[in-house]
Amino acid sequence: MSEASDSPPPSQNPVISETYDASKLGKLEGLEAVRKKPGMYIGGTDERALHHCVSEVLDNSVDEHLAGHCSRIEVTIHVDGSISIRDNGRGIPVDIHPQYGIPGVEMVLTTLHSGGKYGQGGYKFSGGTHGVGAKCVNAVSEWFEVEVSRGGQVHHMRFERGKTIKKLEVIGKARATGTYITFKPDNEIFRETTVFQTGRISQRLRELAFLNSGLEIAFLDERPAGSKPETYYYKDGVEEFVKQINTGKTPLHPKPIRITKETSVKNDDKQSEIHLEVVLQYNDTYNDQVLCYTNTIHNPDGGTHLSGFRSALTRAINQFSKANNLLKDKDPQITGDDVREGLAAVISIKHSDPKFESQTKVKLLSPEVESIVGSVCYEGLMMAFETTPSIAKRIVDKSLNAARAREAARKARETVRKGALSGGGLPGKLADCSERDPALTELYIVEGDSAGGSAKQGRDRRFQAILPLRGKLINTEKARLDKVLSNEEIRTLITACGTGIGEGDESVGGFNVNKARYHRIIIMTDADVDGSHIRTLLLTFIYRQMKGLIERGYIYIAQPPLYKIKRKKREQYVDNDEQLNRILLELGSEDVVLKRLKDQHVFAPAVIDRIVESLAAIEKLGAGVTRYGAGLAEYLDHHEKETHALPRYIARLREGNKESHEFLRDESARAAFLERQGLNADLTPVLADSGTTPPLPVEKKPVAPARRVTLHEIFESTEMTKLLKAIAASGLEINRFSTTEEARYTVTENVGQKTETTTELRAPLEILGHIRSLGRKGLSIQRYKGLGEMNPKQLFETTMDPDKRRLLKVSIDDAAKADALFTLLMGDEVPPRRQFIEDNALNVQYLDV
Ligand code: 0RA
């Protein structure tokens, strides 16, 4: 986004800033523009855009690091779905801007055209769309808070949907500097989802730590109970990144080759600064993994940096082999494909003015980059080869082997293609459907013969085809293409799909998506480690060899249920634990009477449902409070009687082995508390170190004092207040959540029956607990461990029936991430990790098909 220097004075919120004269009222829309057209500013309103918001805020902190002012960043996802990004940079300026008359921080966060003084922060390289990043996030946040530590003071502001709600205010003394931003994405904007994906965020943070050597990044997801912070810190940055890619593989040479260069070029009469870092290390596999970045932004489609590097590599290897007489006459020519076998590399460039193909920056276009990367890499490689010729010889050998195998692979592909396209030879294991129009048919790839058998019996044979896969699939990561293609299971799969495989078009034996025999290809595996392994292998293969199927949206993952529950005559399948919990509450509140004893008021069934739902949500959010040693009921009792506003902070005091806590309503209560205690305002504890990181040079860790005070912000308070309002509106008395002496409610079950029982309850949360226990009564819960435990009818009803099933659609974005991740984060055989990665990163969207 470009920034106009002659832009009009920035907009102001009229409600808050009465001090600004009416002449400025005309520009009041400001961030409204972002809310009206989020696509233009944050690239949409989907899950990707949601995570993009985190990157925008994060990029500012990373820029502080690049400018040499920030050594540590902390990211925390809170229980209410908000997220915090804290850095120890200089802090956003808080002084009043001479021209606009508002504090720098307010300008940075509310005015679209804040160029000039605080727009760029003097950064040379910038990942984000600077000058708009944080303010756009502010605009699409239900609420957004910033705390700036600067000049010995902690300053605070709060915004809601981009509007200033609390003006800049000093809330205490600061011992250091930094910026602390927390925001909750607005579900009026992000209608699909506002749930942050742990895997997506942790992967980005790890990536950033790799690309910014010496930057320490801590991450905590507070949502799961008992979760612990992780710390990413890589002293050797990109070099460690490449080593990580090669984890579990055997490197061809112990030390990665590293090439760097800082230069500047003139382009279109503009001087651009370019920094280049390329690190590569060969391994013993047959695939290549080259990751490209511009200003720390991943470019999955490569671009001019990639093509420059590729041609340099091919040239250097050919040049070295020629100069050293390593080629025999009968040897084939070494091509670009050959030199990439077993290559792990990361190309990271910093560019002061990069050009990308699109808003999403998937591909770098800047033409000047190609020749710079090309010549720098060629020289660097030749230098490395000449310094250690033994290593160079190993690399040439590997490339030559690849060249010789290339012919074999081509033949193998040809055979597979002929087999697949000749029509006659559909595999015997495939139970095809009768419908011939691919748009109407679907293929289930099923793990194991027994589940395959059930699927064949249970399916609708008109349009559902079944392909059972037996045993372990070949790991396509570990074998060269010709070997992969000689694998029976893989061949059957290719033949059944009908598209052929590989790069290049059909005329060279390549892939043709229009030949797909089914427009839904559904992977159905067990919900265990083996199943997830098989799914991973299938997806990796499809991603690498039949990518078009994913691009067209033809690939799905089946969702077998996790539980079957049974009560009396009723049977129900349950997909996950959350749903199970909901069902328990539903069952528990069926046919019960809830009575308020004070006035014998009986709640209507619909009202009971609403009360139970709100109480359950409060209980879930309350986990955040109990983390800090307070009871949930006790916390809720501190709500303000009129507005139901809950305390925003909790202070924990520890003296020797005595512990106590105090709730603090808002920023001013917090300031008063700190004043009383004689404490700085930025004492909020940093995320605990995981122990992997060396001590920081900048921030000296204080010695643990005998007396310790920690301060925690309860971000959930906003959300919980809403719920309290809803409960109060339903007529439940919420003045006291703590248990009282006398009973306040009764719940009667089996109303009108012989077994009718009435239970007295003394607190709102007791009602919830009691109803849940009623739901559990007489219920049998069966957990499915594999598809094989279902009979054909059950399998169809739960997982294959288009009217009832849920399918996850695999998107190319997810698949690309997954593919990079498989090699990025994993050792060889670490199935639980694999499971984690799949669950988190391969976050496929829910679809009712
Ligand atoms: C504008 C100017 C300066 C710093 C920043 C913005 C800044 C923004 C963010 C956002 C998150 N963390 C941040 N840290 C700094 C320069 C300030 C100076 O010159 O002291």
545 CB within 6 A, ligand 1 = no
DSSP state of 808: E
Q: What is the pLDDT of residue 369?
A: 97
Q: What is the pLDDT of residue 818?
A: 58
Active site residues: 447, 526, 528, 530
Strands 845-847 and 230-232, sheet pairing? unpaired
Q: What is the pLDDT of residue 501?
A: 84
60 CB within 6 A, ligand 1 = yes
117 CB within 6 A, ligand 1 = no
Other CB atoms within 10 Å distance of the CB of residue 377: 27
Which of 58, 60, 107, 215 most suits a substitution to test ligand 1, by most atoms within 8 Å of the C-beta? 60
- Which is higher by pLDDT, 618 or 101? 618
Q: Give pLDDT tens digits for 47-65.
A: 989 999 999 999 999 989 9
At 488, list the tokens. Answer: 């029976």
Other CB atoms within 10 Å distance of the CB of residue 601: 11
Q: Name the nearest CA neighbour of 489 among 533, 554, 445, 454.
A: 445
- Which is higher by pLDDT, 785 or 132? 785
Other CB atoms within 10 Å distance of the CB of residue 77: 24
Three-class DSSP category at 22: helix
Protein residue with least CA distance to atom 12, ligand 1: 61
90 CB within 6 A, ligand 1 = yes
Lowest mean pLDDT among 196-210, 277-291, 362-376, 698-712: 698-712
Ligand 1 atom closest to residue 70's alpha carbon, by position in its atom list: 14
Averaged pLDDT for residues 480-502: 85
**411 has a pLDDT exceeding 90:** no
Q: What is the pLDDT of residue 285?
A: 85
Which of 61, 62, 64 most suits a substitution to test ligand 1, by most atoms within 8 Å of the C-beta? 64
By the 8 A CB rule, do 209 and 71 touch? Answer: no
89 CB within 6 A, ligand 1 = yes
- Ligand 1 centroid distance, CA of 583 (Å): 49
- Ligand 1 centroid distance, CA of 295 (Å): 18
Residues 163 and 11: their CA atoms lie apart, in Å, by: 10
**823 has a pLDDT exceeding 60:** no
Ligand 1 atom closest to residue 179's alpha carbon, by position in its atom list: 12
Residues 6+ apart with CB under 8 A from 482: 405, 408, 409, 411, 412
133 CB within 6 A, ligand 1 = no
The residue length of the chain stands at 849
Which of 179, 180, 182, 183 most suits a substitution to test ligand 1, by most atoms within 8 Å of the C-beta? 179
Residues 244 and 211: their CA atoms lie apart, in Å, by: 13
Protein residue with least CA distance to atom 10, ligand 1: 60
Ligand 1 atom closest to residue 89's alpha carbon, by position in its atom list: 14
- Ligand 1 centroid distance, CA of 398 (Å): 49
Protein residue with least CA distance to atom 20, ligand 1: 90
How many helices (H) and strands (E) the chain has is answered by: 26, 29
118 CB within 6 A, ligand 1 = yes
Residue 459 CB-half CA count within 13 A: 23
**16 has a pLDDT exceeding 60:** no
Q: What is the DSSP string of 592-628?
A: -EEEETTTTEE--HHHHHHHHHHHHHHHHHTHHHHTT
Which of 71, 90, 132, 138 most suits a substitution to test ligand 1, by most atoms within 8 Å of the C-beta? 90
| Type of residue found at 839 | D
787 CB within 6 A, ligand 1 = no
121 CB within 6 A, ligand 1 = yes
Residues 585 and 623: their CA atoms lie apart, in Å, by: 19
Reported as a pLDDT band with limits 50, 70 and 90, residue 740 is confident
61 CB within 6 A, ligand 1 = yes
Location of structure tokens 């607190």: 763
Protein residue with least CA distance to atom 19, ligand 1: 121
By the 8 A CB rule, do 111 and 76 touch? Answer: no
**243 has a pLDDT exceeding 80:** yes
**176 has a pLDDT exceeding 80:** yes
- Ligand 1 centroid distance, CA of 684 (Å): 21
Q: What is the pLDDT of residue 685?
A: 52
Three-class DSSP category at 271: strand
In whole numbers, what is the pLDDT of the chain averaged over residues? Answer: 85
- Ligand 1 centroid distance, CA of 89 (Å): 7
Q: What is the pLDDT of residue 269?
A: 80
Averaged pLDDT for residues 809-825: 63
